[in-house]
C-alpha cells in the first residue's frame, strides 16, 4: 500500500448525494446544478432533495414545511445546557455541545430523514438562543409562518427580515449545503459507519468544521478586506502580502482548479442585490487585482476565487457578525452531513490502514516473526 498525504484524490466511498467536478468548476446535488438550485429554490426544497433524492412536489413541500416548522423549538433541558456554558465559550463549541445533548431514543440508530430534519431545524434556534443570552436580550421565539431562512434571521434580529437579506442568505445556505467528501463529511461518515447514532456523527462533523482550515476562512477574508481598506491601496497591499508569506485568503481550493462555481453564483447575487454597497465594490476590485497578481507571482498555480471570498462579502452585506459565520455554515451543512450519514450507515465499517514509520524494539530488528 502507498501513503497519500491528506488522502488527496483517494476515493473512500461511492455516493449519490453530490458530485464536485474540480477540473471544470461544477457542483451537482443529486442530479441538479447547485447554482440553479440557489437561484430558483428554497432551503426546504433543496434539503428535501438531498434527503430524499428528488425535489418535492407542491404537496410534499407543504407537508414537510408544516412538520419541520414545528421542530424548531428547543427542549427545556437543551436551554439549560446552553445557559450553563460559560460566556467565553466560542459559538461552534456551544453548538457542538448542544447537538451532543440532543441524544436520546428519538435519535437512535439507524439514522433517518425524520431525525435529520428534526436536528437541522433546531440548529438556528440553538444559535439564536445563545446569541441573545450573550447580548443580554430575550431569545426570540420562532414563527411557523416563516421559512427556515427567514425564521433564522427573525430569531436573531427580532424583526421581520427584508426580502433582500432573506434571498442573499438563502442562496448562501443552498450553495454551502453540501460539498462532497470534505473533512467534516468524511468524519461524519466514519462515525456513521460504526453504526453509531446520527447525533454522534453530527457532533463529530461540527468538531471538524470548527477547525480554522475548514470552516473559518470567511473571517480571514474579512480581515484581509479590512486590512486593504480602499481600492487605491489594493495592489500595494496584495503585492506586499505575496512577497512576504505568499498567501491570500479566499483564493485557491483543494478541489477546484478553476473558479469555484459557488463563488460565481454568490458574486452574481451580491452584485445584483447590493450593487451600490461599497464593501462589495471593494471585494470585486480586490478579486480582479488578486487574480492578476496571483498569475504574475505564481504562474500556472490555478489559484482562483473560492466560495469563502464572496461568502464573507455577502455575510457582511446582511450584517452578520463574524461569530455567526461558521455556525451559519453548520446550519446548512448539517443537511449534507445527514444525507451522507444516512447513506454511510448502510455501508461497510470505514477502517483504513497506516504506515508505521517509528522504531522497532531492538530484539525485533531483522526478525521475520514477532
Provide the pLDDT for residue 364: 56
Catalytic-residue membership of 179 = no
Comparing C-alpha atoms, which of 78, 76, 71 is closest to residue 151? 71
Catalytic-residue membership of 44 = no
pTM above 0.85, yes or no: yes
Provide the pLDDT for residue 333: 98
Which residue among 41, 165, 253, 340 is the active-site one? 253
Q: For 191, what's the count of Cα atoms within 13 Å in the CB-facing half-sphere?
A: 24
Domains for the chain: give ranges and CATH numbers.
34-165+177-211+322-344 (1.10.580.10), 217-317 (1.10.230.10)
Provide the pLDDT for residue 275: 62
Q: Which helix (H) or strand (E) holds 50?
A: helix 43-52
Distance, CA of 362 to chain centre: 48
Provide the pLDDT for residue 71: 96
The DSSP bridge partners found for residue 26 are: 21
CA end-to-end span of the chain: 21
Task: Say how far apart CA 174 and CA 35 lie, in whole Å.
Answer: 9
Task: Say how far apart CA 169 and CA 166 lie, in whole Å.
Answer: 5
Phi, psi of 183 (to 5 degrees): -60, -45
- What is the chain's pLDDT, residue by residue, as a tens digit (370 residues)? 788 888 888 899 999 999 999 888 899 999 999 999 999 999 999 999 999 999 999 999 999 999 999 999 999 999 999 999 999 999 999 999 999 999 887 999 999 999 999 999 999 999 999 999 999 999 999 999 999 999 999 999 999 999 988 998 999 999 999 999 999 999 999 999 999 999 999 999 999 999 987 877 677 888 898 899 999 999 999 999 999 977 888 888 777 777 788 988 888 887 776 666 677 788 889 999 999 999 999 898 878 888 888 888 888 878 899 899 999 999 999 999 999 999 999 999 999 999 999 999 987 555 555 4
| E strand residue ranges, the chain | 18-21, 26-29, 32-33
Comparing C-alpha atoms, which of 341, 333, 338, 40 is closest to residue 177? 333
Q: Which residues contact 186 (CB under 8 A, 6 or more apart)?
A: 7, 12, 208
Provide the pLDDT for residue 259: 77
Which residue among 148, 170, 308, 340 is the active-site one? 308
The three cell numbers locating residue 160: 421581520
Provide the pLDDT for residue 267: 84
Provide the pLDDT for residue 308: 84
The three cell numbers locating residue 89: 465559550
The C-alpha torsion from 13 through 15 and 17 to 22, rounded to 10°, is: 70
Amino acid at each position: 500500500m502507498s501513503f497519500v498525504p491528506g488522502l488527496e484524490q483517494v476515493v473512500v466511498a461511492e455516493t449519490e448525494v453530490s458530485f464536485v467536478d474540480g477540473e471544470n468548476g461544477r457542483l451537482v446535488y443529486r442530479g441538479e446544478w447547485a447554482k440553479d438550485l440557489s437561484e430558483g429554490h428554497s432551503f426546504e426544497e433543496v434539503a428535501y432533495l438531498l434527503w430524499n433524492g428528488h425535489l418535492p412536489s407542491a404537496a410534499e413541500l407543504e407537508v414537510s414545511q408544516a412538520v419541520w416548522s414545528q421542530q424548531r423549538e428547543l427542549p427545556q433541558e437543551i436551554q439549560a445546557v446552553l445557559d450553563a456554558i460559560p460566556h467565553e465559550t466560542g459559538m461552534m463549541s456551544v453548538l457542538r455541545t448542544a447537538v451532543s445533548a440532543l441524544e436520546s431514543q428519538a435519535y437512535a440508530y439507524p439514522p433517518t430523514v425524520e431525525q435529520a430534519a428534526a436536528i437541522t431545524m433546531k440548529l438556528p434556534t440553538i444559535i439564536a438562543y445563545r446569541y441573545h443570552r450573550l447580548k443580554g436580550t430575550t431569545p426570540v421565539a420562532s414563527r411557523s409562518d416563516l421559512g427556515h431562512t427567514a425564521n433564522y434571521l427573525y430569531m436573531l434580529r427580532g424583526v421581520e427580515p427584508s426580502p433582500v437579506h432573506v434571498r442573499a442568505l438563502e442562496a448562501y445556505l443552498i450553495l454551502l449545503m453540501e460539498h462532497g467528501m470534505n473533512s467534516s463529511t468524511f468524519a461524519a461518515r466514519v462515525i456513521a459507519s460504526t453504526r453509531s447514532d446520527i447525533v454522534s456523527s453530527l457532533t463529530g462533523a461540527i468538531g471538524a468544521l470548527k477547525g480554522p482550515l475548514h470552516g473559518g476562512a470567511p473571517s480571514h477574508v474579512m480581515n484581509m478586506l479590512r486590512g486593504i481598506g480602499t481600492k487605491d491601496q489594493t495592489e500595494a497591499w496584495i503585492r506586499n502580502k505575496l512577497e512576504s508569506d505568499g498567501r491570500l485568503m479566499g483564493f485557491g481550493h483543494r478541489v477546484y482548479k478553476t473558479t469555484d462555481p459557488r463563488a460565481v453564483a454568490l458574486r452574481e447575487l451580491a452584485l445584483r442585490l447590493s450593487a451600490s454597497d461599497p464593501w462589495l465594490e471593494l471585494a470585486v476590485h480586490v478579486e480582479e487585482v488578486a487574480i492578476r497578481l496571483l498569475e504574475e507571482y505564481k504562474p500556472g498555480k490555478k489559484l482562483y476565487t473560492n466560495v469563502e471570498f464572496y461568502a464573507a462579502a455577502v455575510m457582511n452585506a446582511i450584517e452578520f457578525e463574524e461569530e455567526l459565520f461558521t455556525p451559519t455554515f453548520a446550519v446548512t451543512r448539517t443537511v449534507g452531513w445527514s444525507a451522507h450519514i444516512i447513506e454511510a450507515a448502510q455501508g461497510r465499517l470505514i477502517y483504513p490502514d497506516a504506515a508505521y514509520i517509528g522504531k522497532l524494539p531492538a530484539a525485533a530488528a531483522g526478525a521475520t516473526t514477532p
